[in-house]
Amino acid sequence: MSSASVNGSTVLKDARRLVVKVGSSLVTDEGRGLDAEAIGEWCRQLATLVREGREVVMVSSGAIAEGMKRLGWRSRPHEIHELQAAAAVGQMGLAQMYESKLRANGMGSAQVLLTHADLADRERYLNARSTLVTLLRLGVVPVINENDTVVNDEIKFGDNDTLGALVANLVEADALIILTDQKGLYTADPRKDANARFVDEAAAGDPKLEEMAGGAGSSIGRGGMITKILAAKRAAGSGASTVIAWGRENDALLRLCRGEAIGTLLVAQTAKHTARKRWMADHLQLRGAVTVDAGAAAKVLGEGKSLLPIGMTGVDGDFSRGDVIAVRDLHGAELARGLANYSSVEARMLCRKPSSEFERLLGYVAEPEMVHRDNMVLMPALR
């Protein structure tokens, strides 16, 4: 197995933005109903992390399991409409539980329900991202679950491990923490193989990890260890490392963020900002470009500032919000690439305009910048 190239003890200690995913068996105490004590403990730790200056998103399973309990069902149904009904019933209790426990710890909370379609559509993806980033900036803890009441098998994430990884990519998290009913990853199933060895640390995406993991999850949830390995691989694509740890470990979240080794750490091999910048720099099909004046060019290149529409002199091409576009100087040289906050039609209306006029011109304000510095890479790439 390849070794991780990053100092594992500092991965979570230095992480500012975290996504924490907790599974159904933990949330519902193996299907007996919402575990108020356990949820309260996680919320206490989340509140402590927020007060320490970190931003935290919670991805929580449990709606269907809680709905089954409330409806008196002893086994998970197979009919999609029954699953959706259980989710609708259970989501009420799940949201209420997190809201009350976070409020008891002085934290605001928000419920966010996502479907695969929300993340597949670029406009909806950006809207979801903007909402989550705004909530984090306000010090609110978003609690995310799949919108099981409206999805079907064709558009489901399949498990909340995958959802956790996609959310980590969505908000550009530094790390993903998957709390489960296992201590972490073993070389084999320790319940069946006495020679199974615990994996303390490895490189996310190592093919040998997928060979080790496997087997079905519990009867309550849908994920097994293989889904967690694949989630870590997906999260690593945007530079987020993953920890798989036992959810009932005392103060697990706080100890992990102090640099303590708990569970299995799967280290992303590419730094978050490097991964993102390479993706933008390598974009071969640019949908358009904006031309900027000398003052805007100096701020982008020399000061690392965002690009504001007031510095734009022209717009080329036909692009939508979220497309990668080029930023060019008055001589046509490409200065940077980045994600457009406005479409080409809107951008043409905003050229040379201050942000105070956006609402009058467009009827709304998405962002004050045309391209935010966090969504921009200077060319040549990574200079």
- Find all residues with CB under 8 Å of 191, minimum gap 6, and list them: none
Asked whether 133 and 374 are in contact (CB, 8 A), the reply is: no
Residue 303: what pLDDT? Answer: 92
* Res 358: pLDDT: 96
pTM: 0.80
Query: Phi/psi at 181 (nearest 5 deg)?
Result: -95, 15
What CATH architecture does domain 8-270 belong to?
3-Layer(aba) Sandwich (3.40)
pLDDT in tens, 193-204: 888 899 999 999
186 closest CA partner among 197, 194, 177: 197
The amino acid that residue 305 corresponds to is: K
The pLDDT of residue 301 is 93
What number of helices (H) and strands (E) belong to the chain? 15, 15
Q: What is the pLDDT of residue 92?
A: 93
pLDDT of residue 383: 45
246 touches 263 (CB < 8 A) = yes
C-alpha pair distances (Å), 337 with each of 303, 332, 371: 16, 13, 9
- pLDDT at residue number 382: 40
How buried is 72 (Cβ within 10 angstroms: 0-12 exposed, 13-18 middle, 19+ buried)? Answer: exposed
List, for the chain, all residue ranges whose pLDDT scores fall below the cut of 50: 2-7, 154-155, 215-223, 382-383
Domain layout of the chain by residue ranges: 8-270, 277-378
pLDDT in tens, 56-82: 999 998 888 889 989 999 888 888 889
Return the CATH architecture of domain 277-378.
Roll (2.30)
Continuous H helices in 52-186: 63-71, 80-104, 116-120, 122-137, 160-170
